[in-house]
Amino acid sequence: MGSEARPADPEPSRRSQLRRIAAAIVGLAVVAAVFGALLPRIADYGEVWAVVQSLTAGELAALAAATVLNIATFAPPWMAALPGLGYWNATVLTQASTALSIAVPGGDAAGIAASYAMLRGWGFRRQAVAVAVIVTGVGNQLVNVLLPLAALALLVISGGSSPVLLTAGLIGIVVILVLTTALVLVLRGERQAFAVGRRAQLIVNRGLALIRRPGRTGWAEALVRVRRETIDLVSERWAALTVSIVAGHLTVFGVLLVALRATGVGSDQVSWIEALAAWGLVRLLTAVPVTPGGVGIVELGLSGALVGFGAGNAEAVAAVLLYRVLTVVPTLVLGMLLGLTWRRRRVAPAAD
């Protein structure tokens, strides 16, 4: 007599749903606390609104130009990481996936999954897509860490100091060491890459077994192939990758700097080095998302850091809120609109 298939245990999915609900509740509580109680302690919203209303036509134009430039730099890193990906397709890809990352709690994973699905839908090889995801992801994380360290070095050279930034610098050094160690383990040789892939597959399969899902195979061999292609890509395109990734980050910072100057925070109050330090610190400390897109955490942390460096309270909060609106809302709108059209885009010829 044949045995009947046992139904999957619902407990893991229930626990997963409960964790997501709990995370959403915590996120909403954090946002409510920040905007309802904590941020008003830094500056009264009426004063903040008065600062925004005082912006001139020239200042608004400068903010619009900085926003457009920021959006324009989303695509080049992916173009460098994935030969054959055109500028418009890369723009559709980055705007849609970034919008998803912002809108969904813990959305980085969702953004990566969306990027993978879109690129596969356009016909790009699995291995090429995996390499592009790895190269752009690692590159962005390294720049996220290196920029606060660069700001710290510039601040020290210019005679300034900040205990908070020094702490962030130490955190950055630890993160770089961890990332470097992981990269060395994977890239130093095929034997190491094979071992890492086999270990990762074993860990994942143990988790899948708990929820009675079939295991995965071939990860070790796939990681060896990805290693080879990653080395080839980086050795050939390292300059384009480096310049495009750094430029993409600096244009985001450029929106903040323009917002600061437009709201009346002059260089005598907060220099561009101090602004870069505050911005880099907050981005580093919000690498683990508590709320979607860091909403609330970024506003509170960046406003507090800028005030600590010498900005006026109302001006600092106004600049930060402008910066957040201009770097989040356009991408959400564009991502939603472009995400609906991605299937109509040209299909790349190199499918596997």
| Segment 101-142, tens digit of pLDDT | 887 766 677 888 888 889 988 889 888 898 898 889 888 888
Residue 2 predicted with pLDDT over 70: no
Does residue 185 have a pLDDT over 50? yes
The verdict on residue 86 lying in a domain is yes
pLDDT of 188 reads 62
Q: What angle do CA 49, 337, 72 make, to 5 degrees?
A: 70
Structure tokens at 70: 């920021």
> Between the CA of residue 325 and those of 53, 96, 168, 318, 328, what are the distances in Å?
15, 17, 25, 11, 5
Q: Do the Cβ atoms of 78 and 136 come closer than 8 Å?
A: yes
Does residue 206 or residue 82 have the better pLDDT? 82
* Percent of the chain predicted with pLDDT > 70: 73
Higher pLDDT, 349 or 82: 82
Residue 10 has pLDDT above 60, yes or no: no
Nearest-CA neighbor of 32 among 315, 299, 312? 299
Highest mean pLDDT among 17-21, 226-230, 267-271, 286-290: 267-271
How large is the average pLDDT for residues 225-236?
A: 78
Cβ proximity of 347 and 119 under 8 Å: no
- Residue 350 falls inside a structural domain: no
Q: Total domain count for the chain? A: 1
Range in 6-15, 34-43, 86-95 the model is least confident about: 6-15
The pLDDT assigned to 231 comes to 78
264: pLDDT confidence band, cut at 50, 70 and 90? very high
**Which residue range(s) make up the domain with 105?**
43-342
Does the pLDDT of residue 339 top 60, yes or no?
yes
Q: In this model, does residue 257 exceed pLDDT 50?
A: yes
Give the span between the Cα atoms of 136 and 193, in whole angstroms: 19
* Mean pLDDT rounded to a whole number for the chain: 81
Q: What do you get for the CA distance between the two ends of the chain, in Å?
A: 42
1 — pLDDT class (breaks 50, 70, 90): very low
Measured between alpha carbons, how far is 254 from 322 in angstroms, rounded to an integer?
12
Q: How confident is the model at residue 6 (pLDDT cuts 50, 70, 90)?
A: very low
Which of the two residues, 198 and 127, has the higher pLDDT score? 127
pLDDT in tens, 38-61: 889 999 999 999 999 999 999 999
Residue 52: inside a domain, yes or no? yes
* Amino acid 328: pLDDT: 93
Query: Quick one: pLDDT at residue 251?
Result: 97
How much is the pLDDT for 106?
61
Q: Measured between alpha carbons, how far is 346 from 86 in angstroms, rounded to an integer?
A: 9
Mean pLDDT of 60-77: 96
Highest mean pLDDT among 6-15, 52-61, 213-222: 52-61
Record the tokens describing residue 140, joined without a space: 């962005």
What pLDDT, on a 0 to 100 scale, did the predictor assign at position 3? 45
Residue 219: pLDDT band with limits 50, 70, 90 = low
CB-side neighbour CA atoms (13 Å) of 273: 16
Banded pLDDT at 289 (limits 50, 70, 90): low
Domain assignment of residue 24, yes or no: no
Q: Is the pLDDT of residue 5 over 60?
A: no
Q: Which two tokens stand for residue 221?
A: 């061999």
Q: What is the pLDDT of residue 319?
A: 96
Asked which of 16-20, 85-89, 153-157 is least confident by mean pLDDT, the reply is: 16-20
State pLDDT tens for residues 296-316.
Answer: 888 988 999 899 888 999 999
Residue 196 belongs to some domain of the structure: yes
Q: What are the structure tokens assigned to 62, written together?
A: 């400068």
The answer to the question of residue 248 being in a domain is yes
In terms of average pLDDT, the best of 27-36, 89-98, 140-149, 280-289 is 89-98
Q: Considering the domain boundaries, does residue 14 fall inside one?
A: no
- From the centroid of its chain, how far is CA 326? 16
In a domain, 33, yes or no: no
Q: Give yes or no for a contact between 348 and 124, defined as CB atoms under 8 angstroms apart.
A: yes
